[in-house]
Amino acid sequence: MTTASTLDFDVKTLRADFPILAERVHGKPLAYLDNANTSQKPRQVIETIDHYYRAMNSNVHRGNHFLSQQATNALEAARRTVQAFINASEDREIIFVRGTTEAINLVASSFGENLRKGDEIVISAMEHHSNIVPWQMLCARKETELRVIPINDAGELMMDEYEHFLSDRTKIVAITHISNTLGTVNPIKRIIDLAHERGAIVLVDGAQAVPHEAVDVQALDADFYVFSGHKVFAPTGIGVLYGKASLLEAMPPYHGGGAMISSVSFEKTTYNDIPFKFEAGTPHIEGIIGLGSALEYLRGIDLGAVAEYEQELLHYGTTALLGIDGLRIIGTAAHKTSVISFMLSSANGDVHPHDVGTILDNEGIAIRTGHHCTQPLMKRFGVPATCRASFAFYNTKEEIDALVRGLRKVQKMFA
């Protein structure tokens, strides 16, 4: 039954904030169902970036003239917006990076210096490559061991195995909050609590979570929480590393250069305080300000209603897709968000996901096809790639209906 909050969720008005959704592709209305890859941007963010370049373009933290002060104030206001959005205790716990990938690499390279031979790092079988490769590199460098939590056929973590893995040798647990391929929502609070009982720190990859649900890093007790701007309706090339202040203060810098120093001589360099110790060089100023604008936009929307509406889309889409003979969904966790990965077959066998994506594109429908930077996960399910439809709050049931029609057309073409 549709609830009041869903009824009050005005999708038509929200869609009007996103200019690109009015575009046509190959003469057809655009149905953008690739939000787990990157999200579209509201006009409020576009206008914020335009205003920055028209009215305050200057470097930050480096000048006492008017434009520099304006740009610096806008950047630091964005930092405070991020702090409030994820409920960090201090704004200095917010480090601006290029994205989730750089944030994970920063922690692996900096905090990872604490690890010793024989220590262990725990990840899961559903991780994005960005939360696998940096830890493999650290293991090779430090002679540590990488352990992988298995998943069941529904795409859920096998928590008994996770608890079995944890020991006094476990130093880092790096885990995705929500799987970009399966949509599985992991029990992050329980994962963190169990790791802390063994004295391990936890990094949470929140790239897919922040766009879909309220995140409270203090309530989770996350040691590190990372996400990318471009998945949360902000520009590309900007991301966030949240870290507990005590951890960040003890970590060595990741990059050397301007802004991250307090003083420099040829004999010795003294490093700046956090967050600046980790923000060497001229930052992605317009990206940071755009991120602040995107999060302010989201703060103006009822995130509870967003989550409820996206669950409605997920249920509607799942039911509609399962009505297609020969379609198999990969990832059927009891607790998941608005991502549906699937394989499609016709009378002549499986249709390659790339062919599915190409034909759908001709119908104006944008989905993602491939391994989604989760090749080990593809191997776990015995497939080379999948088709993936992923929803945001501006998507509609009519777009899902268009997807179903497109998939039926694919089947006819390959019959």
State which of 244, 271, 299 marks the end of a domain. 299
The whole-model pTM stands at 0.96
Is residue 41 one of the residues assigned to a domain?
A: no
Task: Indicate whether 244 and 261 sit together in one domain.
Answer: yes
State which of 276, 299, 322 marks the end of a domain. 299
> Residue 68: its pLDDT value, please?
95
56 CB contacts (<8 Å, ≥6 apart)?
A: 67, 70, 71, 74
Task: Indicate whether 192 and 163 sit together in one domain.
Answer: yes
Please provide the size of the chain in residues.
Answer: 415
Which phi-psi region, left, alpha or beta, contains residue 372 (left: φ > 0; alpha: ψ -120 to 50)? left
Q: Which residues of 87-123 are buried (b: 16+ CB within 10 A; e: fewer)?
A: ebeebbbbbbbbbbbbbbbbbbbbbbeebeeebbbbb
> Residue 348: its pLDDT value, please?
84
Task: Indicate whether 254 and 364 sit together in one domain.
Answer: no
Between 9 and 215, the higher pLDDT residue: 215
> Residue 17: its pLDDT value, please?
97
Query: Residue 7 pLDDT > 70, yes or no?
Result: no
Is residue 327 one of the residues assigned to a domain?
A: yes
The per-residue pLDDT of the chain, averaged, comes to: 96
Task: Indicate whether 193 and 314 sit together in one domain.
Answer: no
Task: Work out the average pLDDT over 184-212.
Answer: 98
User: Confidence band (pLDDT; 50, 70, 90) for 150?
Assistant: very high
> Residue 303: its pLDDT value, please?
87
Query: Residue 111 pLDDT > 90, yes or no?
Result: yes
Q: What percent of the chain has pLDDT over 90?
A: 94
Segment 347-376, tens digit of pLDDT? 888 999 999 999 999 999 999 999 999 999
Long-range pairs, 133-136, Cβ under 8 A, ≥24 = 134/104, 134/105, 134/108, 134/109, 135/108, 135/172, 135/174
Task: Work out the average pLDDT over 216-234.
Answer: 98
Is residue 40 one of the residues assigned to a domain?
A: no
> Residue 1: its pLDDT value, please?
30
Query: Residue 5 pLDDT > 70, yes or no?
Result: no
Q: 261-264 and 239-243 as β-strands: parallel, antiparallel, unpaired?
A: unpaired
Query: Residue 198 pLDDT > 50, yes or no?
Result: yes
- Tell me the CA distances in angstroms from 82 to 21, 205, 228, 258, 291, one per residue in order: 26, 16, 12, 23, 8
Task: Indicate whether 129 and 177 sit together in one domain.
Answer: yes
> Residue 387: its pLDDT value, please?
98
Q: What is the distance between the alpha carbons of residues 18 and 250, in angstroms, rounded to a whole number?
A: 42
Task: Indicate whether 291 and 342 sit together in one domain.
Answer: no
139 is catalytic: no
197 CB contacts (<8 Å, ≥6 apart)?
A: 166
State which of 233, 267, 299 marks the end of a domain. 299
Q: 368-370 and 365-366 as β-strands: parallel, antiparallel, unpaired?
A: unpaired
Segment 87-106, tens digit of pLDDT? 999 999 999 999 999 999 99
HEC string for the chain: CCCHHHHCCCHHHHHCCCHHHHCEECCEECEECECCCCCCCCHHHHHHHHHHHHHCCCCCCCCCCHHHHHHHHHHHHHHHHHHHHHCCCCHHHEEEECCHHHHHHHHHHHHHHHCCCCCEEEEECCCCHHHCHHHHHHHHHHCCEEEEECECCCCCECHHHHHHHCCCCEEEEEEECECCCCCEECCHHHHHHHHHHCCCEEEEECCCCCCCCCCCHHHHCCCEEEEEHHHCCCCCCCEEEEECHHHHHHCCCCCCCCCCEEEECCCCEEECCCCHHHCCCCCCHHHHHHHHHHHHHHHCCCHHHHHHHHHHHHHHHHHHHHCCCCEEEECCCCCECCEEEEEEEECCEEECHHHHHHHHHHCCEECEEECCCCHHHHHHHCCCCEEEEECCCCCCHHHHHHHHHHHHHHHHHCC
User: Confidence band (pLDDT; 50, 70, 90) for 246?
Assistant: very high
Task: Indicate whether 194 and 97 sit together in one domain.
Answer: yes
Task: Indicate whether 67 and 191 sit together in one domain.
Answer: yes
- Which amino acid is it at 11? V
Structural domain of residue 351, as residue ranges?
A: 4-32+302-413
Q: Phi, psi (5° rounding) for residue 255?
A: -125, 150
Contact 62, 283 (CB under 8 A): no
Task: Work out the average pLDDT over 55-79.
Answer: 95
91 CB contacts (<8 Å, ≥6 apart)?
A: 76, 79, 80, 82, 83, 275
Task: Work out the average pLDDT over 233-244.
Answer: 98
Looking at 307, 359, 373, 383, which residue is catalytic?
A: 373
Task: Work out the average pLDDT over 257-271.
Answer: 92
Best CA proximity match to 6, nearest among 394, 319, 304, 399: 304
User: What residue has token string 């061991």?
Assistant: 145
Task: Indicate whether 291 and 311 sit together in one domain.
Answer: no
Task: Indicate whether 248 and 104 sit together in one domain.
Answer: yes
> Residue 364: its pLDDT value, please?
98
Q: What is the CATH number of the domain that holds 107?
A: 3.40.640.10
Task: Name the token pair of 316.
Answer: 């509607």
Query: Residue 8 pLDDT > 80, yes or no?
Result: no
> Residue 6: its pLDDT value, please?
45
Neighbours of 319 (CB within 10 A): 10
Task: Indicate whether 142 and 274 sit together in one domain.
Answer: yes
> Residue 349: its pLDDT value, please?
87
Task: Indicate whether 201 and 117 sit together in one domain.
Answer: yes
Q: What is the CATH number of the domain that holds 327?
A: 3.90.1150.10
Segment 272-323, tens digit of pLDDT? 999 999 999 999 999 999 999 999 999 999 888 999 999 999 999 999 999 9
Could you give the number of structural domains in the chain? 2
Q: What is the CA 389 to chain-centroid distance, rounded?
A: 16
